[in-house]
Amino acid sequence: MSGQPGHRLRKVICGACLAALSTGYVWAAGDEPILPPSSVTASTVPANGDVNPYGVAFVPAGVPSWSTLKAGDVVVSNFNAKSNLQGTGTTIVKFVPNGTPITFFQGHNLGLTTALAVLRSGFVLVGNLPTTDGKTPTSQGSLLVVNPQGGLAAELKNPTLLNGPWDLTVIDRGGSVKVFVSNVLSGNVARLDLSIDETGVHVLPTSRIVASGYMHRSDPTAFELGPTGLAYDADHDVLYVASTADNAVFAIYGAASATHDAGVGRLIYQDNAHLRGPLGLALAPNGHLVTANGDAINPDPQQPSELVEFTVDGRFIAELSVDPSQGAAFGLAFGRDRHGRVRLAAVDDATNTLTVWTLGESGNN
């Protein structure tokens, strides 16, 4: 068990599931939960004082040796500046267990969102939605491309495809990358088809909106509500969308090659007993989905800031509270450390910390 104050696990992970995890990212036939047994927690506040961590990403295997980030590192994007004014955070930081995070990237007046990914090429993608008053976005935002040394390489803007980039997930094939982006200001999901070469990052004309029609609105506490978490299942070509304001999770089939807008897709999970404004979303190694409740919708003080695990056909499995207060859960991600162990990382933006759980050992069982 975690041992961190305020953490509650209502179903424990079983030995059979741990054995499956040790062999890689696999689909499980049963309902064994993935939510975790052991963890380490550290601050996400860098030297400039940025707070309110949103996005989480693991650095994948295969990044260039000259990259500042190494395989297995975990990075976090900050939405607020030291003033705690929403939409003013400027930093991406590298998690340091039991220590102070290291600043990897720092910009100006950005409001870095949950849309965060590290590519095999070493480039980092991060969305932003800036404000000056902490209440109203000053622009549609953009997708920043940060080079492997932490410098700004490009800024991608598109009035149709990027309108409040709130979260993302990627299909990374090295020189060819598909980026799914949830747009909180327009309630849709875009697919950006990118090519990456020595001349830079290029958006291809096949890019398009692949889903739309999700509820979206501004919120005095949560800033904006709309489609947020995205998780892609490469084996079945399914994109899962956690729509916060709809308090539901949807599936978009054939998303990687879609040439049309699928609308909201198929509803797969709507559960008022366990969903409370789902934000971050990730596909677990056992084939389940895990989302983070932000508590802006359907709140329950007795079930604050929870990660909720469920199957892709909509069966609840387990839940884990990351903080005893409401509204603290946001971004989460699964990945591997440099030793091949499977890990889950999730932010707590009430305490400005990141917790990383180790779920299984490397090896061939």
| pLDDT score, position 144 | 98
Query: Identity (one letter) of the amino acid at 243?
Result: S
Report the distance separating Cα 346 and Cα 356, nearest Å.
Answer: 7
pLDDT for 73 equals 97
Note the pLDDT of residue 179. Answer: 98
Judging by beta carbons within 10 Å of its beta carbon (0-12, 13-18, 19+), is residue 218 exposed, middle or buried?
A: middle
CATH of domain 8-360: 2.120.10.30
Residue by residue, DSSP assigns 240-255 as: EEEETTTTEEEEEETT
Global confidence as pTM:
0.90
Q: Which helix (H) or strand (E) holds 92?
A: strand 91-94
Tens-place pLDDT, residues 239-271: 999 999 999 999 999 999 999 999 999 999 999
- In this prediction, the residues of the chain whose per-residue pLDDT falls under 50 are 1-29, 36, 363-365
Nearest Cα to Cα of residue 226 among 270, 164, 273: 164
Q: Rounded to an integer, what distance in angstroms lies between the CA atom of residue 345 and that of residue 365?
A: 24
Confidence (pLDDT) at 201: 87
pLDDT, residue 3, reads 35
